[in-house]
A and B are shown apart, each in its own frame.
Chain A
Amino acid sequence: VGRVRIPRDVESRSDRWRATWRGPRSFTCSLPSTQLGPDALHEHLASHADAVVAALAGAEGVHSFRACATPPFSGDGHRSRALLNVVHDQPLPELLEELFARVGEPLTAAFAPLVQPCEPADWPAWLVRHRVRENTLHLGAVNATVREIRADKQLRRLCRAFADEQLERGAWSPATPPLRMCAELRSHVAAALSESDGIAVRASLSLAARAARAVDFAATFLFPAFGVLVDDIHDLVGRAAAPARRALRHAAFTLWWLYAVAPTSAALSAVRVVEWSEGEPPPPPIDPERWARLEAGEDRFTHNEVTLWLPVRDSFARRFLLRVVLFGAEGGCRHLWNVGRLAGIDTIHHARILQLDRGRTMAFLSDYDGGLDRYLGDFLGVGSHAVVPISSNLAHCPKTRWLFGREDPERFASGWRAMIRAGQLETSIWYGAYRDTSVREILANRKLRDTLFASDMDERAARRWLRSL
């Protein structure tokens, strides 16, 4: 498409500030189409999927890319919209430049039926103009770049193959000193990999970045209704290893709880009044043929994707409540659920939640490990205290009590699953940079690298490291 013009100031100051201590980033836009309805747009986008995915394979900083056809926003005069999302490492201007340098041709062909800018050079500006902001963004492996994820995986592979070889030819035995094994592995890895592939301990966050994170942490906890996540906050307090630090955290937690308990109680009481005034929502309509098509495309890899487009309950109170809950969830993702688990669920790479169409619709885009059925089961089980308060604001969600509880537990699960199925979109284009890698694996590989190259590795640490190989 030739050289594109990158508009100035595409990233806000807060985006740039947050990126100093938290990555990868997510860029989402909702692009209108006046030509095609949602089904036809999906068909059209899907017909370009192979070309787009093939072109993206060489993109260094793209974790995932997806495009789906969605219904139009209410009263916007369009026939449908394309929801586009990219999870990326580099700053947005660089991403847009790389995207159009690598994928420009198939991408512009795929977007042909959308309302287009006049010149191809203005495509990036057009995307930015239709940008929609994530209300909540969860990252499974925080600050892990595509390059690092791939390099760490390669490092594990190299270490395992070398260890197998040494054992096979008798150079190593269970009696070989662990420190010697680790030293030989280090030398082997250093010879096989380049420095940029990661043969050193990962650099920790700079002092400025840590300070920025602390400021954000403090600002987040000023939000008074954050008390609904008291269990998770208490869990965070207990994570401190040093007793003095833990005691300090407990003291701060107690003070904060005194500050938050009254507003949290008031907020929950208000929620209860809203819940009490509503009736049981009707079950959502489900097209069996569409359901079969959705199932046929699911669970293909270790790392899979799902996109949901769900109407919010039709009241101002619910639209506002959802916004507040998502704001709280975003705080939780930034500071509580940042060690590979979202409220206990350890299979989510990236989850993005957006409240669109003036609050009338919630979009949920997730990249997760394993089967969808298990994933949804986790939402109703271990992660329900984070998921149920969000979904209780949706049009077809069975009734809840106090935001978290289920009015009719026996029917809640089936009603909730039916709502998810009814709102599931067929993803037209999906690219994942590491579809054979799980979140747990990414975190374990990262730890493997950091420990192998740690300067203070002793006999005990070496033994523990070898066991994790």
Chain B
Amino acid sequence: MANSGDATRAQALVFKGFGALPDATIVWLRVTDVARAREVLREHWLPQVEYGAGSSGARTAALQLAFSGAGLRRLGAPDAAVDELGRAFARGIGEPQRRRALGDHGANDPSGWRWDDRRADVVLLLYGASAEAARSQAARVLTEATGGLEPLAQLVTRLPADGREPFGFRDGLAQPSVARAEGRRSADELPPGEVLLGHAKATGAVPYAPKHGVDGTFLVLRELEQDVAGFWNDWLERSRDAREAVWLASKAVGRWPNGMPVHGSAPCDEPPFDERVALAPLVFRDDLHGDNVPLGAHIRRAHPRDGLVADAEHSLAIAARHRLLRRGRVYGAPTPAHWLPWNAASNAPPQPVEHDGQSRGLLFACLCADPVRQFEFVQQTWMNNPKHGDLFDEVDPIAAGAERLEGHFSIPRDPLRRRVSGLAQRVTVRGGGYFFMPALGALDAWLA
């Protein structure tokens, strides 16, 4: 089936994570004057947006832009046109059904969020070569916005040099890319239609996309605050020493902090980093019981690969329908080195970590063609589901929301598993929304 779209019209975030621009300021804005907002978008911001897969060269800044369903309507898009982009997007992430699917209640309830897609109309992603560059770019674009849009929230984010998220684990190792050509793809390449509207998806079909949606993509944003001290205290309390705490947490994540795969069911030391091994695709078909990577481990729930069902090829086909292109970055104060147990003497008795009162976490960002089939499915059916796989009463030990039951996490072992209980919620949602990143020229008619 031929594509109906032209990927070079898509915003550049689809093709690259702007790794050369490690600092980024994310700004959520509200339209205050429609005519002026259209002018700001048309005259100032849209011309600055980078499109396509080309190299940014020596650029020191980049801008990407997305709209909420409420924002598109406010800027003049007809209701029917917004509805055509999908019900979840059109109605927003705060709908009761979305909240149930995502586990957004209790501490994660949207009533406590700093921003969401009902209040924010536009989100700007401003990338810079340094924190200063990103900040000054934000100041400039906000000046341009005067009279038309006002900032609702702002978050300064970064790509850490060591690639580790606040809990101390290397992140983004299994990151796919968007295939640029038709035909055979490697396992790490997503069919364009899994990310872009109007292109062939994993099943080969090209789903219908409205004209204003073609070559666009959905950007799912979630501000996830991480209680790093609480997280490590949980594991230290359940361990004889710091070495065992690191092993237990690695089992829960599914990788060692340095990104190496976990093996075996007895506590051991973290193996030295070997890039070839760490970056090799994980294979679960030989680990169906989860002796290496537990069935309930975070990375296995988020992307079960070939280990979802006994038939590995069938499993891969299922997993391929629910993949995401992640573009997240960390925010907040860096994690103090002494909080991380591997910096303690390996045989020292566990010492609880004192919280420093500072906020830190991850701005989860992912791109997909269908937030419900991809992002929500992963959250609801794999991460928050206590019956996932052959499990019965446990959810994702790292990222599940308020429905944590008794906080169980099972580590398979021959003959009888070890079970950790009472794990508290250490990741809290502070904001979230579904946004649409339009392709080049897609919204011209409404912004004229």
Indicate if A58 sits at the interface (CB-CB under 8 A).
no
In B403-436, which residues have CB < 8 Å from any A CB? 412-419, 421
B96 adjacent to chain A (CB < 8 Å):
yes
Shortest distance from the beta carbon of A285 to any chain B beta carbon, whole Å? 15
Interface of B is mostly: loop
How distant is A455 from chain B, measured CB to nearest CB, in Å? 20
Bound complex: CA of A452 vs CA of B418, how far in Å?
Answer: 20
Is the beta-carbon distance between B380 and A156 smaller than 8 angstroms?
Answer: no
A467 contacts chain B at the CB level, 8 A cutoff: yes
B390 at the A/B interface (Cβ < 8 Å)? yes
**Cα–Cα, bound, A381→B205 (Å):** 13
Evaluate contact between A373 and B415: CB separation under 8 angstroms. no
Who on chain A is nearest to B289 by CB?
Answer: A467
* A224–B417 alpha-carbon span in the complex (Å): 50
The answer to whether A172 and B416 touch across the interface, beta carbons within 8 angstroms, is yes
Contact A410 B208 (CB under 8 A): yes
In the assembled complex, the Cα of A174 lies from the Cα of B96 at a distance in Å of 45
Q: Please pick, from B208, B289, B387, B417, the residue contacting A440 in the complex, using a CB distance under 8 A.
A: B387
- Known contacts A295-B96, A414-B207: does B415 contact A371 (CB below 8 Å)? no
Q: Cβ of A216 < 8 Å from any Cβ of B?
A: no
Residue B116 interfacial (CB < 8 Å): no
Contact with B along A339-375 (1 / 0, CB 8 A): 0000000000000000000000000000001110110
Residues of B within 8 A of A410 (CB): 1, 205-208
Main SS of chain A's interface residues?
helix
Tell me, yes or no, whether B81 is within 8 Å of chain A by CB: no
Q: Which residue of B lies closest to A288 (CB)?
A: B83
Chain B neighbourhood of A441, CB < 8 A: 387, 392
Q: Give A447 to B421 CA distance when docked, in angstroms.
A: 25
Q: For B413, what are the chain A residues with a Cβ–Cβ distance below 8 Å?
A: 174
| CB <8 Å contact, A411 and B208 | yes
Q: How large is the interface on A (under 10, 10 to 19, 20 to 34, 35 or more residues)?
A: 35 or more
* Cα A468 to Cα B289 with chains together (Å): 9
A469–B416 touching, CB < 8 Å = yes
| Count class of interface residues, chain B | 20 to 34
A112 at the interface (CB under 8 A from B): no
CA A291 to CA B91, docked complex, whole Å: 12
Distance of B233 from chain A, by nearest CB (Å): 20
The answer on a CB contact under 8 Å between B392 and A462 is no
Would you give the shortest CB distance from B243 to chain A, in whole angstroms?
Answer: 18
Do the beta carbons of B377 and A374 come within 8 Å of each other? yes
Of A14-22, A63-71, A297-305, A312-320, which binds chain B?
A297-305
B291 to chain A, nearest CB (A): 9
Smallest CB separation, B83 vs chain A (Å):
9
Docked-complex contact A371 and B416, CB < 8 angstroms: no
Q: Are B377 and A468 in contact (CB under 8 A)?
A: no
Least Cβ distance of B78 to chain A in Å?
15
Evaluate contact between B416 and A167: CB separation under 8 angstroms.
yes
Closest residue of chain A to B206 (Cβ to Cβ) is: A410
Task: Tell me whether A300 and B100 are in contact in the complex, defined as CB-CB below 8 angstroms, given that A164-B419, A377-B373 are known contacts.
Answer: yes
| B275 close to A (CB within 8 Å) | no
Interface residues of B in 338-387 (CB under 8 A from A): 372-373, 376-377, 380-381, 385-387
Q: Known contacts A295-B95, A302-B387, A369-B387; is A463 also within 8 Å of B208 by CB?
A: no
Query: Can you report 14 residue pairs joining A to B where beta carbons are below 8 Å apart?
Result: A160-B419, A174-B416, A299-B97, A299-B100, A373-B372, A377-B377, A410-B208, A440-B390, A441-B387, A441-B392, A444-B392, A467-B289, A467-B417, A469-B417
Nearest 10 CB-CB pairs, A to B? Answer: A295-B97, A466-B415, A438-B387, A463-B415, A178-B415, A466-B416, A296-B96, A371-B380, A409-B205, A374-B381
